[in-house]
Amino acid sequence: MLRYDDDVIDAMNETVLEEYLLNRTNYGTKNWKFKPSKNWATPFVTGHKYKIHWGVTGIDFETMRWSVS
């Protein structure tokens, strides 16, 4: 997970943004909790944007839905 708020991204030029996205030390990690209903749950801070990457798992979702519970 990477912080991707407008105030962070808009201040970067194209080269700096590319370096920011490629630098793996900028990403946090989250151990997803698997529920019996086959849903994943994780907390997010509302009002912020995140770039989520599935890392080296090889998972390639065709669709993804988020909902607030």
Residue 61 has pLDDT above 80, yes or no: no
Name the residue with higher pLDDT: 48 or 29: 48
Average pLDDT of the residues in 5-33: 87
Domain count, the chain: 1
Residue in 36, 32, 2 with CA at minimum distance from that of residue 19? 2
Average pLDDT of the residues in 18-45: 76
Q: Is residue 68 part of a domain?
A: no
Q: Is residue 31 part of a domain?
A: yes
Q: Is residue 63 part of a domain?
A: no
**pTM assigned to the model:** 0.60
Residue 39 has pLDDT above 80, yes or no: no
The parent domain of residue 8 ranges over: 2-57
Size of the chain, expressed as the number of residues it contains: 69
Residue 64 has pLDDT above 90, yes or no: no
DSSP for 8-46, please give it.
HHTTS-HHHHHHHHH-GGG-----PEEPTTS-EE----T
Q: Is residue 39 part of a domain?
A: yes
Q: Is residue 46 part of a domain?
A: yes
Considering the chain, what is the average pLDDT of its residues? 79
